[in-house]
A and B are shown apart, each in its own frame.
Chain A
């Protein structure tokens, strides 16, 4: 009788073994900084999605009677040089920034991932060729390459996203290649090869899921970098074009009125800082949560 009870307990214990995904999520939510980051990211996503419902004024509506009014009850963040409500522009600006962050990284991933997989798995001449092109792209500083690309493509938010995405691609090629090289020597990949799986199946079913954690961390941190890059391009006039609101272009016009209207510079800058900080916190949290060596609490 005793034996049976013990066996039942054993069976239950094995059923309750935590999956790696659940463990990662539990570890992520254990980290206060990552939870704060997730909350702020969620807040800005909500702002971007529900912007038309949340904004008190039309973000492009100009008013000559409200030029550079300081923060007040009717305009919480004040008004800009054309009398536009800064709060409404900051809320709508979240759309351009988040969209640029996500789409640019999407572009970088969709080019970098297949190239990295091919270079890492197939090796040989293709690997050397992709490696040298990656080296060449990495030799051109990220923002300078993005500026040059945006300049030649023409100033617009879409082109800025393409420019940032292409400039961020080599990081993903290099990371994917390195991860594939490490994973492809593992026993389970060898076993998959030994039983006669085709190459595409080994790459997509056995290798790709195992390199996803590293890519996820890099993608999160790259979104932060892409948001700064979009703001920088818009600040320089190469991103979102006026009168559409963007945090970078708001800072550009704020710079001219620093003496009389410093609030124009405070809010968009703070919005960029908070969003980027949050993505960095989530990225750092994910890295710790997904690292099997990290025994950490939780």
Chain B
């Protein structure tokens, strides 16, 4: 187990190195003089010169990369050009909002996706199975920004049940917070639910045909016990670890969802930064997202080994 963990940790080093190279390279895509573009409206040569010095743009690219990575390793992700706040502070300020949204979305996705997947497998080739498959196809094919707009039209404009936009922190008013995040969380969770449903269905179908399930049935156990205690326990292990890997999809989705529902989270931060040409923030957000994804990937691997006795030895 420790050996496996050590190997996985060692593999992370080159991956993190290349992540840093990719994100650093983004800056090289800027057409023309990066200092001039970073300065935006500002045309004062002294300011442009200061940017050039601050980001070591007057040095060679490998040296620029070295300074950038040195900064990262000491927790310095750069500074927002527009509001002159450290990028890390900005991200840490916005992250809890997105974490709340993503957690709610994951709960919704697990509740809908796993239930639909289990029902679909158990009732294979019935109307339930067709309905669950249709739901999965709908979930995968619906652009979440369109679903968000349509839900706002229905629940906010027509029925007036939920606020169309804005965010209330959980610590301020939990009911208000729930009301402001339930629609975006459903929009975010919808696509993940569809993916989880498909994986749960195929895992359950495989398990339901296995010998130990047949034995459990032959012993005369109730069908409910066979499904809940014997089949689901084994079928859901890979599905749950897959859920952790869907975090990337959640963060991608959050960018659009937060934009539609005007939620001041991580996703809105990157979009605002893109339009303000705040490139250090864009780089910082991509870097933090990738790092979170890599860590979750590692945790999912460890969890998979922990719950699977065959891999533990």
Cα(A259)–Cα(B253), bound, Å: 25
- Name B3-57 residues within 8 Å CB distance of A: 14-19, 21-23, 26-27, 29-31
Contacts A132-B14, A139-B19 hold; do A232 and B29 have CB atoms under 8 A apart? Answer: no
Q: Is the CB of B146 within 8 A of A151?
A: no
**Interface residue B251 (Cβ < 8 Å from any Cβ of A):** yes
A106 at the interface (CB under 8 A from B): no
Is A144 within 8 A of B137, CB to CB? no
Report the separation of the CA atoms of residues A141 and B289 in the bound assembly, to the nearest whole angstrom. 8
**Cβ contact of B248, chosen from A141, A149, A259, A262, cutoff 8 A:** A141
> Which one, B26, B153, B260, B293, contacts A148 given CB within 8 A?
B26
CB < 8 Å: which of B157, B249, B270 contacts A258? B157
Q: Verify if A108 is at the interface (C-beta below 8 Å from B).
A: no
Partner of B146, one of A132, A140, A149, A269: A269
CB within 8 Å of B: which of A261-296?
A: 262, 265-266, 268-269, 272-273, 276-277, 280-281
B63 CB-CB contact with A under 8 Å:
no
CB <8 Å contact, B26 and A136: no
Quick check: is A254 within 8 A (CB to CB) of the other chain? yes
B282 contacts chain A at the CB level, 8 A cutoff: yes
Q: Is the CB of B153 within 8 A of A265?
A: yes
Give the residue among A139, A141, A228 with the most B Cβ atoms within 10 A: A139
Check if B259 is an interface residue, CB within 8 A of chain A: yes
Output the nearest chain A residue to B149 by Cβ-Cβ distance.
A265
Contacts of B85 in A (CB 8 A): none
Residue of A nearest to B266 (CB): A144
Contact A132 B274 (CB under 8 A): no
Given contacts A251-B149, A269-B146, contact A140 B289 (CB under 8 A): yes
C-alpha spacing A268/B145, complex, angstroms: 12
Which residues of chain B have C-beta atoms less than 8 A from A192's C-beta? Answer: none
Q: Report the separation of the CA atoms of residues A133 and B19 in the bound assembly, to the nearest whole angstrom.
A: 8
Bound complex: CA A253 to CA B42 (Å): 30
Name the residue on B nearest A142 (C-beta): B252
Asked if B255 CB lies within 8 Å of chain A CBs, one says yes
For the complex, what is the distance from the CA of A142 to the CA of B5, rounded to whole Å? 27
Q: Mark B131-148, 1 if CB is under 8 A from A, else 0.
A: 000000110111101100
Q: Are B260 and A255 in contact (CB under 8 A)?
A: yes
Q: Let me know if B271 and A140 touch, CB within 8 A.
A: no
Task: Tell me if A217 counts as interface (CB < 8 A to partner B).
Answer: no
Measured CA separation A136–B252 after assembly (Å): 16
Give the distance in Å from the alpha carbon of A237 to the alpha carbon of B271 in the complex: 10
Which B204-235 residues have a C-beta within 8 angstroms of A? Answer: none
Q: In the docked arrangement, what's the CA distance between A102 and B11, Å?
A: 34
Q: Is A58 an interface residue (CB 8 A)?
A: no
Would you call A140 and B290 a contact (CB within 8 A)? yes
Q: Let me know if B256 is at the binding interface, CB within 8 A.
A: yes
B203 at the A interface (CB under 8 A): no
CA distance A272 to B242 in the complex (A): 27
Residue ID in chain B nearest A227 by CB atoms: B143
Q: How far is the CB of A21 from chain B (nearest CB, A)?
A: 27
Beta-carbon contact of A151 and B274 below 8 Å: yes
CA distance A269 to B149 in the complex (A): 9
Q: Which residues of the partner chain A approach B137 to less than 8 Å between Cβ atoms?
A: 277, 280-281
What is the 8 Å Cβ interface bit string for chain A, positions 123-157, against chain B (1 contact, 0 not)?
Answer: 00000000011011101111111011101111000
With A and B bound together, what is the CA distance between A37 and B297 in angstroms? 35
What CA separation (Å) do A236 and B252 show in the bound complex? Answer: 13
Q: Which residue of B lies closest to A260 (CB)?
A: B157
A135 surroundings in chain B (CB, below 8 A):
15, 18
CB pair B18–A132 under 8 Å, yes or no, is yes
Known A141-B251, A258-B153; judge A265-B146 contact (CB<8 A). yes
The minimal Cβ–Cβ distance linking B245 to chain A, given in whole angstroms, is: 10
With a cutoff of 8 Å between Cβ atoms, the chain A residues found around residue B251 in the complex are 141, 144
Contact check, A141 vs B249: say whether CB atoms are below 8 A apart.
yes
A30 contact set on B, CB distance < 8 A? none
A153 to B282, CA, bound (A): 13
Cα distance A276–B144 when bound, in Å? 12
Interface flag for A29 (CB, 8 Å)? no
**Which residues does chain B contribute within 8 Å of A136, judged by CB atoms?**
15-19, 21-22, 290
A231 close to chain B: CB less than 8 A: yes
Which chain A positions have C-beta within 8 A of B297?
139
Which residues in B have their C-beta under 8 angstroms from that of A248?
A: 145
Closest A residue to B142 by CB, please name it: A273
| Interface contact A276-B141, CB-CB below 8 Å | yes
A141 to B141, CA, bound (A): 18
Bound-state Cα–Cα, A254 to B145, Å? 12
B285 interfacial contact with A, CB 8 Å: yes
B162, chain A: closest CB distance, angstroms:
14
Q: List 14 A–B pairs whose Cβ atoms lie within 8 Å, in order of A's numbering.
A: A136-B19, A136-B21, A137-B18, A140-B22, A140-B23, A141-B252, A152-B27, A153-B31, A254-B149, A258-B152, A258-B157, A262-B153, A269-B146, A269-B149
List 10 additional contacts besides A148-B286, A273-B143; criterion CB under 8 Å: A132-B14, A135-B15, A136-B17, A137-B22, A143-B253, A144-B251, A144-B270, A144-B286, A148-B270, A277-B137
By Cβ-Cβ distance, the 6 closest A-B pairs, closest first, are A136-B18, A269-B146, A143-B252, A141-B248, A277-B141, A151-B274
Query: B residues within 8 Å of A by Cβ?
Result: 14-19, 21-23, 26-27, 29-31, 137-138, 140-143, 145-146, 149-150, 152-153, 157, 248-249, 251-253, 255-256, 259-260, 270-271, 274-275, 279, 282-283, 285-286, 289-291, 293-294, 297
Q: Which positions in A face B, CB cutoff 8 Å?
A: 132-133, 135-137, 139-145, 147-149, 151-154, 224, 228, 231-232, 235-238, 248, 251, 254-255, 258-259, 262, 265-266, 268-269, 272-273, 276-277, 280-281
